[in-house]
Amino acid sequence: MVPVGWYMALAAALFLIGALGMLLRRNALVMFMCIELMLNAVNLTLISAGRAMNDLNGQVAVFFILVVAAAEVVVGLAIIVAIFRRRATASVDELSELRG
């Protein structure tokens, strides 16, 4: 039996890597991928905790997150495509009109 703590620790590590990746990469698509990474880490956490609590609702929650993540990716990529058409760049640093 693998203690639930190991799963949670792994998920935390994945989440941290995803977060740092989001802050360090400039390419919009790579940033998006890091977001997916974070979502996966959360999913893993939910499954593991649900297993530890003998509750199936953890898996149900993950199911929903999966669906929503898919929808989110669709819309997000559409936005990136629309932006790229205008500016021919996928670097988020170029999108700084809202600076104060």
Partner 1 sequence: MADLLWLLIALPLAGALFLHFFGRYVRDPLSGWLASAAIGGAFVIAAIAAVPFLQGGAEPLTIPLWEWMPAIGASFELLWDPLAALMALVVTGVGTLIHVFAIGYMHGDERFHRFFTNLNLFAASMLTLVLAGNYAMLFLGWELVGLCSYLLIGFWYTRTTAAAAAKKAFIVNRIGDFGFMIGLMLVFAVFGTLSFAGVFERAGEELTGGMATAIGLLLLVGAAGKSAQIPLYVWLPDAMEGPTPVSALIHAATMVTAGVYVIARSAPIYEFTPLASTVVATVGALTAIWAASIALAQRDIKKVLAYSTISQLGFMFLAVGARAYVAGVFHLMTHAFFKALLFLGAGSVIHAMSDEQDMHRMGGLRRKMPVTATTMAVGALALAGIPPLAGFWSKDEILAADFARGGWFYFLWIVGLITALLTAFYIARLWVLVFMGEPRWEEGHPHESPRVMTLPLIALAILSVVGGLVNTPFRLGLEHFLEPSFEGVHVQEAPTDWLTLAVLAGLSTLAALAGAGAGILAYNRPRERWRRFEESFDPLWGTWEQAYGVDDLYGRALVLPGRRLAEVTAFSVDSKVVDGAVNGVGRMVRSAGDWARPLQTGFVRNYGVLFLAGALVVVVWLVAGG
Partner 2 sequence: MVETALFVVAALAALGGAVTVVLARNPVYSAVGLLGTLFSVAVLYVVQLAHLVAAVQVIVYAGAVMTLFLFVIMLIGVDKEEKRVEPLPRQRLWVGGLAGVVILFAAGVALFGDFVWVPAAATAVDQNATNGTIQAVAEPLFTDWVLAFEATALLLTIAAAGAVVLAQFKRKRA
Residues that bind partner 1 (CB under 8 A): 19, 22-24, 26, 92-93, 95-100
Collapsing DSSP to helix, strand or coil, 100 comes out as: coil
Tokens of 55: 């509750």
**Minimum Å distance from CB 27 to partner 1?**
11
Q: Does 95 bind partner 2 (CB under 8 A)?
A: no
Query: Residue 86: which of partner 2, partner 1, none does it interact with, CB under 5 to 8 A by kind?
Result: none
Please state, as a whole number, how many other Cβ atoms lie within 10 Å of the Cβ of residue 100: 2
Given a contact cutoff of 8 angstroms between Cβ atoms, the answer to whether 47 and 66 are in contact is: no
Query: Residue 100: which of partner 2, partner 1, none does it interact with, CB under 5 to 8 A by kind?
Result: partner 1
From first CA to last CA, the distance across the chain in angstroms is 54
Given a contact cutoff of 8 angstroms between Cβ atoms, the answer to whether 4 and 52 are in contact is: yes
Name residues contacting partner 2, limited to 28-57 (CB under 8 A): 29-30, 32-34, 36-37, 40, 43-44, 47-57
Q: Does 74 bind partner 2 (CB under 8 A)?
A: yes
Please state, as a whole number, how many other Cβ atoms lie within 10 Å of the Cβ of residue 21: 16
**Minimum Å distance from CB 46 to partner 2?**
9
